[in-house]
Amino acid sequence: MGSFSSITGAKKHNAASALSAKVELRRNILDAIGAERAHVFDAYSGPGAMHAAVWSKAATYVGCDEEWFRDERRVFVADNQLVLRTLDLKAFNVFDLDAYGSPWEVATIVAARRGLTPGERVGIALTDGTDLRLKMSGVPHAFARLVGMPARSTKLVNRSHDLMASKALGEMARRMGGRIVRRWVASSTIKAGMQYHAMIVEGCPDTQAISGS
Ligand SMILES: C[S@@+](CC[C@H](N)C(=O)[O-])C[C@H]1O[C@@H](n2cnc3c(N)ncnc32)[C@H](O)[C@@H]1O
């Protein structure tokens, strides 16, 4: 594991592994929202490591995975993009986008469909494994659109992955009608180029949510 830092806070950590960093990012979100007020949509819920470590303490939890894991959790066994386009996302104030590859398509749907009222807070955890793709075959389209760039650049773009992720997260917040008030990031030196993000977005009185897709 590489570095783990709080961008808007003072804390700095060195996590022993990707798993512990991912858990810590999610604990930060749960602490910021308050467990008793946290209503989690876990879009890549998998075998449930994040649920066991953190989300089981939230007030409510709904998972989603295209694979069925037979356990006690309430989970949609379906494609997360379909589910996120169908549900009323106001029911949730925490979104976990723990993808293997690009989370940006799903992030775009959340940003378009989860507008914020002034002062309202939503936590988003996001695993970005697009780095290898940036090297090999260009930028995923949804990522490029959030960043506001053409989708074709490759090597130059790869060096700017951190910057691009920052821009994409800021753009998500803007589309939701809010701004980022807390942000944490960890990056992996073991799993090539994996980045782990968490943020709290707060609705602004002067920013209107941009609904779409
Ligand atoms: C990194 S794992 C998630 C691990 C999980 N967060 C946990 O705590 O154990 C990614 C998961 O995403 C699921 N997945 C990939 N694409 C998906 C999609 N389009 N819709 C729903 N689930 C998807 C995979 O089946 C896999 O279980």
Domains of the chain in start order, with CATH, are: 2-203 (3.40.50.150)
- Give the pocket of ligand 1 (CB within 6 Å): 44-50, 64-67, 79-80, 98, 100
- Closest ligand 1 atom to Cα of 127: 1
Of 201, 162, 205, 194, nearest to 22 by C-alpha is 194
Pocket test residue of 25, 44, 54, 70 for ligand 1, highest count of atoms within 8 A of CB: 44
Q: E strands within the chain?
A: 4-6, 12-13, 39-42, 60-65, 75-77, 94-98, 121-128, 178-187, 195-203
Q: Cα of 67 to ligand 1 centre, how many Å?
A: 8
Q: Is 195 helix (H, G, I), strand (E, B) or coil?
A: strand
- Closest ligand 1 atom to Cα of 53: 8
Pocket test residue of 17, 65, 109 for ligand 1, highest count of atoms within 8 A of CB: 65
pLDDT at 127: 94
Residue by residue, DSSP assigns 130-158 as -HHHHHHH---HHHHHHHTS-TT--HHHH
What is the full per-residue pLDDT of the chain (213 aa) written as tens digits?
A: 444 455 543 333 333 578 899 999 999 999 999 999 999 999 999 999 999 999 999 999 999 999 999 999 999 999 999 999 999 999 999 999 999 889 999 999 999 999 999 999 999 999 998 765 555 556 777 888 888 876 555 544 555 777 889 999 999 999 999 999 999 998 776 656 788 999 999 999 876 667 655
What is the value of pTM for the model shown? Answer: 0.86
Please name the amino acid found at residue 31: D
